[in-house]
């Protein structure tokens, strides 16, 4: 229940000219309905309850506090004990101090407001008052309504809960030794084959080389191989041919653009704040670049996590580690909160929730208002985790300056920072002095202004001219000279601010001391309960956090570093498991644990638990490096299987739990757009990093904005041909192609993309300006490369879309279309070729991988 609901209605302002008398006003003026100081005795308390109190309870209270065994705020009003025991907010009635009882406060709408549908009549309130003052007499039925049931309590944090598989330490299982080992290329295959053997399923045959190279390219860099790259691989029959492809791809700068995108989905990356203004986040793109570079540099995952959670609290923060803390600033931000205190906790909730799900695979956000209903995560654990973030400043307080203050920092070496700060301080001081002196002269001149001068004065640029007219009057020649000089100086100062250092969006804390953290009853910021200190989820039997204040001069508590330390500790049972599972998920289209962000009771059990642990332990032992893991996975037979189904396997295991084949997948929105550009040779691969770009969004879509076009710019053609990851991610305005092909929803962490199929996708791929422009470009490309021969044009097109040699049948199908468009529909060869390109962009094989 929001806290700002009205307490009292209209009161009269007395003692002024307006004296009004309304019933409402008079009623509100009355003191709250407390009974007379000496209540007369009630002859028959039980009868009083049954005839007067019970009907009121039944009509106005029990629906929410007791009916069907349900009780809001954990408060049962169905029996006397329940009332005295109270709910989340404490006893509903105090027999010692009846007048202070919460129940009376609530029905009087002073504090709580019950019933919420409207205040009771005075007579009804009087009944409650009398009842409480008489010591809460009860009637004939000890229990009103149904008895509360307690069957569905939340899971307890006990030994049984602690024994749950994902809360147990990671083991290092030996790969099964199997007799039939021709299929086994890596230990991964041993685990997979062992499980297949259990049910008598056979792994699918190896994928064709054309399928494999296409799979690997899209998987690692999100782009298709060129026809030359395909040809080179097909002709290379030496043993290490595929390994060399994988190595090359892992070294490609485009690897980070593909795998960084997965990470950006997870951390709800977007570049604006959502809500009414949906303002752009300053320098947020540096975080995107940081992620791409981190993947490209094969940064160890433990370091990657630490930098994002606590890059500012490290012993030696660098610009890179400061940028990494942009992690805290990626979420939605309400710049005009209705209830600022509650909003602070909405922001913190975003951090707790995202951190819990992304790094730990725990949906701890569900424990914000009450103990987690499905996992052994008590509400106190939520707030203990929140305590690590409690001192983090809000993103800002409405204005751009406040964001600059709370979330932006200059990045540079110490000397650069110091010099820059001095320059800024000097600039501020000078500006202040000039303005002060100007103000005095302004007042002096303004007093002498006549007629339209006063209007003109509002225009800054006219002031010197106006002042000139008053020389000898309001001001002397010297004063005028000074006035002109100061005005020029002021403009100069405004135009030449210290250029400043590069800046980064980053986390900042309030200082070295943290305000206390309390459990909040039902998540309500205004209902603080017990204080808690920072701590990790108790079901993991974790160590105490090792919180160390950072070096003198660093304005934070060190709490986040302690959190990062625990998350990245090799002993943490979840971190490595969750991450290797994500990597597996992105390679295979599904995780070993299919619920990639939920490793709790409600999550799905791993299909290959030993494999998961083996991968996790290998990951940690290998220095948390991801490229090594990619290679390990991609060189396995499991990865290189065909996606073809065998009827027997399909019948036995339709959802491929056993991994008897590789699964087909549709390209993501980014891959589709990038591939459209790659096919016609216009993709600008070289331009990486930097502020985001704006592609053309149709006017019809911009018309949905309250100020059509606001916050959306225009980039040059070279810029708009860059990869999709560089398109400005505006929360309230989606690029239609990206949105229709299931781009990520960015308001919360997105662990897995939807893959929908809908007619609007077809409309966009056939009729949109973007696709038609690209088709035109494609046609030109085909003419340049293939000359005027339609067979060659069609063959090149299909080769560039499918990354394989087209069959004669396919070529003739293309030729038939070209011929029909010309003969039946009167198109020129050029126009027909363009329409063929539109058609080709729409083929299933273009957007589906085997």
For residues 818-847, which are near another protein according to CB under 8 A?
820-821, 824-825, 827, 831, 835, 838-839, 842-845
Q: Please, which residue, 121 or 548, has the CB nearer to another protein?
A: 121
Q: Which stretch binds another protein (CB under 8 A): 124-132, 230-238, 613-621, 639-647?
A: 639-647
Contact code string over 371-410 relative to another protein, x by CB under 8 A: --xxx-----------------------------------
- Asked if 16 touches another protein (CB under 8 A), the answer is yes
- Asked if 26 touches another protein (CB under 8 A), the answer is no
Residues 190-229 that bind another protein (CB under 8 A): none
Phi-psi region of 709 (alpha: psi -120 to 50; beta: other; left: phi over 0): left
Counting Cβ atoms within 10 Å, is residue 815 exposed (0-12), middle (13-18) or buried (19+)? middle
User: Within 10 Å of residue 822's Cβ, how many Cβ atoms?
Assistant: 16
Q: Which of 45, 748, 780, 799 binds another protein (CB under 8 A)?
A: 748
Contact code string over 760-779 relative to another protein, x by CB under 8 A: xxxxx-xxxx--x-------
Q: Which of 742, 778, 779, 849 binds another protein (CB under 8 A)?
A: 742
Residues 568-607 that bind another protein (CB under 8 A): 585, 589-591, 593-598, 600-605
For residues 88 and 522, the answer to whether their CB atoms sit within 8 Å is yes
CA–CA separation, 308 and 329 (whole Å)? 11
Q: Which of 106, 246, 366, 539 binds another protein (CB under 8 A)?
A: 366
CA–CA separation, 265 and 748 (whole Å)? 9
Q: Please, which residue, 10 or 718, has the CB nearer to another protein?
A: 10
CB of residue 590 to another protein, shortest distance in Å:
4
Contacts of 728 (CB under 8 A, 6+ apart): 271, 280, 692, 693, 694, 712, 713
Q: Please, which residue, 339 or 437, has the CB nearer to another protein?
A: 339
Segment 680-684 long-range contacts (CB within 8 Å, at least 24 positions apart): 680/774, 680/775, 680/777, 680/778, 680/780, 680/781, 680/800, 680/837, 681/777, 681/781, 682/721, 682/774, 682/777, 682/781, 683/223, 683/721, 683/722, 683/723, 684/718, 684/719, 684/721, 684/722, 684/723
- Asked if 732 touches another protein (CB under 8 A), the answer is yes
Q: Please, which residue, 152 or 458, has the CB nearer to another protein?
A: 152
Phi-psi region of 73 (alpha: psi -120 to 50; beta: other; left: phi over 0): left
CA–CA separation, 614 and 740 (whole Å)? 38
CB of residue 133 to another protein, shortest distance in Å:
26
CB of residue 404 to another protein, shortest distance in Å:
22
Q: Please, which residue, 305 or 797, has the CB nearer to another protein?
A: 797
Residues 681-700 that bind another protein (CB under 8 A): 698, 700
Residues 137-166 that bind another protein (CB under 8 A): 152, 155, 160
Residues 100-139 that bind another protein (CB under 8 A): 116-119
CA–CA separation, 383 and 516 (whole Å)? 11
- Asked if 20 touches another protein (CB under 8 A), the answer is yes
Q: Which stretch binds another protein (CB under 8 A): 1-9, 127-135, 309-317, 569-577?
A: 1-9
Contact code string over 333-352 relative to another protein, x by CB under 8 A: -x-x-x-------x------
Count residues near another protein (CB under 8 A). Answer: 128
Q: Please, which residue, 456 or 745, has the CB nearer to another protein?
A: 745
For 813, phi then psi, to 5°, come to -60, -45
Q: Which of 31, 37, 759, 808 binds another protein (CB under 8 A)?
A: 759
- Asked if 44 touches another protein (CB under 8 A), the answer is no
Contacts of 523 (CB under 8 A, 6+ apart): 345, 349, 368, 369
Query: Residue 186: which of 698, 509, 776, 611 has the closest Cα?
Result: 611
CA–CA separation, 308 and 531 (whole Å)? 27
CA–CA separation, 7 and 735 (whole Å)? 45
Q: Please, which residue, 241 or 748, has the CB nearer to another protein?
A: 748
Q: Which of 489, 753, 783, 799 binds another protein (CB under 8 A)?
A: 753
CB of residue 357 to another protein, shortest distance in Å:
8
Counting Cβ atoms within 10 Å, is residue 291 exposed (0-12), middle (13-18) or buried (19+)? buried
For 298, phi then psi, to 5°, come to 50, 50
For residues 836 and 821, the answer to whether their CB atoms sit within 8 Å is yes
- Asked if 645 touches another protein (CB under 8 A), the answer is yes
For the chain, what is the radius of gyration of the CA atoms? 34
Q: Please, which residue, 565 or 761, has the CB nearer to another protein?
A: 761
């Amino acid at each position: 229940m929001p806290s700002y609901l009205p307490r009292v209605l209209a009161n009269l302002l007395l003692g002024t000219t307006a004296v009004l008398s309304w019933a409402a006003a008079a009623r509100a003026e009355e003191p709250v309905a407390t009974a007379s100081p000496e209540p007369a005795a009630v002859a028959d308390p039980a009868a009083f309850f049954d005839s007067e109190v019970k009907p009121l309870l039944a009509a106005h209270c029990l629906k929410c506090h007791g009916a069907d065994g349900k009780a809001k705020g954990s408060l049962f009003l169905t029996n006397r004990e329940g009332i005295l025991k109270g709910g989340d907010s404490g006893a509903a009635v105090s027999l010692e101090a009846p007048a202070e009882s919460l129940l009376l406060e609530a029905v009087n709408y002073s504090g709580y407001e019950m019933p919420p549908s409207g205040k009771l009549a005075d007579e009804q309130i009087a009944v409650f008052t009398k009842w409480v003052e008489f010591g809460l007499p009860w009637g004939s039925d000890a229990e009103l309504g149904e008895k509360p049931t307690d069957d569905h309590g939340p899971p307890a944090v006990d030994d049984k809960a602690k024994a749950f598989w994902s809360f147990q330490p990671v083991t290092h299982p030996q790969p099964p030794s199997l007799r039939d080992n021709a299929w086994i290329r890596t230990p991964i295959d041993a685990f997979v084959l062992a499980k297949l053997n259990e049910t008598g399923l056979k792994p699918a045959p190896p994928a064709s080389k054309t399928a494999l190279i296409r799979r690997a390219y899209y998987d690692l860099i999100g782009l298709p191989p060129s026809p030359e790259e395909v040809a080179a691989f097909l002709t290379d029959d030496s043993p290490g041919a595929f390994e060399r492809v994988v190595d090359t791809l892992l070294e490609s700068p485009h690897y980070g653009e593909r795998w960084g995108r997965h990470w950006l989905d997870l951390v709800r990356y977007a570049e604006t704040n959502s809500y009414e203004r949906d303002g752009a986040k300053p320098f947020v793109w540096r975080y995107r670049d940081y992620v791409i570079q981190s993947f490209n540099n094969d940064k160890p995952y433990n370091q990657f996590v630490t930098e994002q959670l606590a890059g500012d609290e490290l012993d030696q923060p660098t610009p890179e580690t400061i940028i990494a803390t942009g992690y805290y600033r990626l979420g939605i931000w309400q710049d005009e909160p209705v209830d600022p205190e509650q909003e602070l906790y909405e922001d913190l909730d975003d951090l707790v929730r995202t951190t819990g799900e992304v790094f730990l695979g725990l949906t701890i956000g569900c424990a914000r208002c009450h103990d987690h209903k499905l996992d052994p995560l008590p509400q106190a654990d939520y707030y203990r985790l929140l305590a690590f973030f409690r001192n983090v400043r809000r993103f800002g307080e409405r204005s751009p300056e406040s964001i600059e203050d709370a979330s932006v920092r200059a990045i540079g070496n110490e000397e650069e920072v110091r010099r820059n700060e001095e320059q800024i301080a000097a600039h501020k001081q000078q500006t202040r002095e000039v303005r002060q002196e100007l103000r005095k002269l302004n007042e002096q001149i303004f007093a002498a202004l006549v007629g339209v001068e006063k209007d003109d004065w509002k225009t800054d640029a006219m002031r010197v001219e106006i002042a000139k007219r008053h020389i000898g009057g309001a001001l002397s020649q010297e004063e005028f000279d000074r006035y002109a000089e100061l005005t020029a100086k002021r403009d100069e100062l405004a135009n030449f601010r210290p250029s400043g250092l590069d800046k980064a969006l980053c986390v900042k804390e309030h200082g070295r001391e943290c305000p206390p953290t309390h459990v909040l009853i039902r998540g309500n910021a205004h209902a603080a309960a017990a204080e808690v200190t920072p701590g990790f989820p108790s079901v993991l039997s974790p160590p105490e956090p090792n919180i160390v204040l950072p070096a003198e001069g660093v304005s934070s508590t060190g709490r986040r570093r302690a959190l990062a330390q625990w998350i990245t500790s090799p002993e943490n049972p979840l971190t490595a498991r969750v991450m290797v599972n994500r990597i597996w998920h992105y390679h295979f289209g599904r995780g070993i644990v299919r619920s990639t962000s939920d490793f709790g009771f409600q999550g799905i059990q791993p299909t290959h638990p030993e494999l998961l642990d083996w991968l996790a332990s290998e990951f940690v032992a290998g220095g948390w490096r991801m490229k090594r893991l990619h290679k390990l996975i991609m060189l396995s037979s499991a990865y290189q299987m065909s996606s073809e189904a065998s009827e027997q396997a399909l019948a036995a295991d339709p959802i491929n739990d056993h991994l008897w084949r590789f699964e087909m997948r549709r390209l993501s929105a980014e891959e589709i757009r990038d591939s459209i550009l790659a096919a016609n040779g216009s993709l600008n691969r070289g331009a990486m990093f930097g502020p985001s770009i704006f592609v053309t969004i149709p006017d019809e879509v911009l018309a949905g904005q309250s100020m059509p076009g606001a916050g959306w710019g225009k980039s040059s053609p070279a810029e708009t041909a860059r990869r999709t990851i560089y398109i400005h991610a505006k929360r309230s305005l989606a690029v239609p192609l990206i949105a229709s092909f299931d781009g990520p929803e960015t308001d919360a962490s997105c662990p897995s993309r939807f893959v929908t199929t809908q007619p609007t996708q077809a409309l966009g791929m056939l009729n949109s300006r973007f696709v038609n422009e690209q088709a035109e470009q494609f046609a030109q490309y085909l003419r340049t490369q293939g000359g005027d021969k339609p067979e060659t044009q069609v063959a090149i097109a299909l080769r560039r879309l499918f990354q394989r040699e087209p069959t004669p049948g396919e070529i003739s199908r293309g030729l038939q279309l070209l011929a029909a468009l010309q003969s039946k529909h009167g198109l020129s060869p050029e126009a027909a070729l363009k329409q063929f390109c539109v058609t080709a962009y729409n083929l299933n094989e273009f957007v589906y991988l085997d």
